[in-house]
């Protein structure tokens, strides 16, 4: 019997997890929909049938094989160890465990082979990190990345329901709660998450630290600026790379075209390049605007787009679960 719990099932990512689970047809015998006490008893449809939301304590006592967490860092810090102690393998979508040296930070296409039965809490990387490393991992292997300069243009859905409501209110001239310190409609905010003592935001430092951990290479120089824009479909990233080794642009394109989970959309003469409006609802990472940066030796520019709620969150989490099930690690 394969029993799976979705912790945070009523949230934005939790509901996408349910949608992805239905699409991918995991061999699940029983699903538990879990949320905070205020949501207990609510009904959510899964595979055409209503399921009642249960609380965290009840879910732990049910001993699921896998628990997919998307309920925030504080909930993960408190409850993931309780699930793990009960024998459940937790795959956590928050930032709580990502930089814990004893926890694996996993993008299945890159490093799922690190997982073992002993890994009871597994961290899902940040959405903006996932889509970038999906494209960069094979290039790093081939040409050895020396430095990365990142500018992100991130969807409001990465902030949550409150941000979606703020954009809708502002677009319709309504006054309401603010998810951001400034208006987001017809605006761009050079702030994703809070500022840290080094004047970078937490989101920017996630791109730095998580990339180092996933690549197991802290020698790469990385700097990032994360920008929030009034877009719903997904995150976009302008990524400038400096390699240690020489390359040809056609080699870059060929490697990316052969990378599982990556789709190349790169025909500028026909105005073909990735856009969040077309990435929405899809699991691929889309790469375009592939061109040499002639201002430095071995420089390259890429434009990387992906649906942050899917590959950037729900889908990556579920792909980890698939790997665990397929390899009998749970």
Task: Give the residue from 211, 48, 22, 81 showing the smallest Cα distance to 135.
Answer: 211
What is the model's pLDDT at position 266?
Answer: 98
- Cα of first residue to Cα of last residue in the chain, in angstroms, is 11
Residue 32 in tokens: 């538990």
Please, what's the b/e burial string for 29-68 (b: 16 or more CB within 10 A of its CB; e: otherwise)?
eebbbbbbeebeeeebebeeeebebbebeebbebebbbbb
> How does strand 221-228 pair with strand 145-154?
parallel
Alpha helices in the chain (DSSP H): 12-24, 56-61, 73-85, 108-111, 127-143, 161-171, 202-215, 249-257, 276-279, 315-326
What is the model's pLDDT at position 259?
Answer: 98
Mean pLDDT of the chain: 97
Provide the CA 22 distance to its chain's centre, in angstroms. 19
Encode pLDDT of 227-249 as tens digits. Answer: 999 999 999 999 999 999 999 99
- Contact between 202 and 226 under an 8 Å Cβ cutoff? The reply is no
Q: Assess whether pLDDT exceeds 90 at residue 293.
A: yes
Encode pLDDT of 88-136 as tens digits. Answer: 999 999 999 999 999 999 999 999 999 999 999 999 999 999 999 999 9
What is the model's pLDDT at position 257?
Answer: 98
Among the CATH numbers 3.40.50.1820, 3.30.565.10, 3.30.360.10, 3.20.20.70, which is that of 128-308? Answer: 3.30.360.10
Q: What's the pLDDT band for 69 if we cut at 50, 70, 90?
A: very high
Where in the sequence of the chain do the CATH 3.30.360.10 domains occur? Answer: 128-308
Residue 46 in tokens: 């899964």
**Which residues, listed in sequence order, are joined to residue 292 by a DSSP beta bridge?**
300
Provide the CA 144 distance to its chain's centre, in angstroms. 24
Catalytic residues, by residue number, are 127, 235
- Contact between 76 and 94 under an 8 Å Cβ cutoff? The reply is yes
> How does strand 235-243 pair with strand 299-306?
antiparallel
> How far is the C-alpha of 85 from the C-alpha of 69, rounded, in Å?
15
What is the model's pLDDT at position 94?
Answer: 95
Where in the sequence of the chain do the CATH 3.40.50.720 domains occur? Answer: 3-124+313-326
What is the model's pLDDT at position 139?
Answer: 98
> How far is the C-alpha of 109 from the C-alpha of 238, rounded, in Å?
22
**Which residues, listed in sequence order, are joined to residue 148 by a DSSP beta bridge?**
222, 241
Encode pLDDT of 186-207 as tens digits. Answer: 999 999 999 999 999 999 999 9
Give the fold, CATH level 3, of 3-124+313-326. Answer: Rossmann fold (3.40.50)
Q: Assess whether pLDDT exceeds 90 at residue 298.
A: yes
Assign residue 262 a region (left: φ > 0; alpha: ψ between -120 and 50; beta: otherwise): beta
214 backbone dihedrals φ, ψ, rounded to 5°: -65, -40
> How far is the C-alpha of 150 from the C-alpha of 209, rounded, in Å?
13
Instruction: Give the long-range contacts of residues 169-174, CB within 8 A, separation 24 or more.
Output: none
What is the model's pLDDT at position 322?
Answer: 97
DSSP three-state, residue 191: coil
DSSP string, 84-128: HHTTPEEEE-SSSSTT-TTS-B--HHHHGGG--TT--EEEPPPHH
What is the model's pLDDT at position 25?
Answer: 83
Q: What's the pLDDT band for 174 if we cut at 50, 70, 90?
A: very high
Q: What's the pLDDT band for 292 if we cut at 50, 70, 90?
A: very high
Q: Assess whether pLDDT exceeds 90 at residue 223.
A: yes
Residue 186 in tokens: 């017809």
């Amino acid at each position: 019997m394969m029993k799976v719990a979705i912790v945070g099932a009523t949230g934005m990512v939790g509901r996408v997890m349910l949608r992805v689970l239905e699409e991918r047809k995991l061999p699940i015998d029983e699903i538990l929909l879990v949320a905070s006490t205020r949501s207990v008893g609510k009904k959510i449809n899964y595979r055409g049938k209503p399921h009642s939301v249960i609380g965290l304590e009840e879910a732990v006592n049910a001993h699921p094989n896998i628990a997919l967490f998307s309920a925030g860092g504080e909930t993960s810090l408190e409850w993931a160890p309780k699930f793990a102690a009960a024998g459940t393998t937790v795959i956590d979508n928050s930032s709580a465990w990502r930089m814990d040296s004893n926890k694996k930070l996993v993008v299945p296409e890159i490093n799922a082979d690190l997982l073992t039965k002993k890994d009871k809490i597994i961290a899902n990387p940040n959405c903006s990190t996932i889509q970038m490393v999906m494209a960069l991992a094979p290039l790093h292997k081939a040409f050895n990345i020396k430095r990365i300069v990142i500018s992100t243009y991130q969807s409001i859905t990465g902030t949550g329901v409150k941000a979606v409501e703020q954009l809708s209110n502002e677009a319709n001239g309504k006054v309401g709660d603010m998810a951001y310190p400034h208006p987001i409609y017809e605006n761009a905010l050079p702030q994703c998450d809070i500022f840290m003592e080094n004047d970078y935001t937490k989101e920017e430092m996630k791109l730095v630290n998580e990339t180092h951990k996933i690549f197991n290479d802290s020698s790469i120089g990385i700097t990032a600026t994360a920008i929030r824009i009034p877009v719903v479909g997904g995150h976009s990233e302008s990524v400038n790379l400096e390699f240690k080794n020489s390359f040809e642009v056609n080699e870059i394109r060929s490697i990316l075209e052969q990378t599982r989970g990556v789709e190349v959309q790169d025909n500028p003469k026909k105005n073909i390049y990735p856009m969040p409006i077309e990435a929405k609802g899809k699991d691929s990472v889309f790469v375009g605007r592939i061109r040499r940066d002639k201002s430095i030796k071995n420089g390259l520019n890429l434009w990387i787009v992906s649906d942050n709620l899917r590959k950037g969150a729900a889908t990556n989490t579920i792909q980890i679960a698939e790997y665990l099930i397929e390899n009998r690690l749970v």
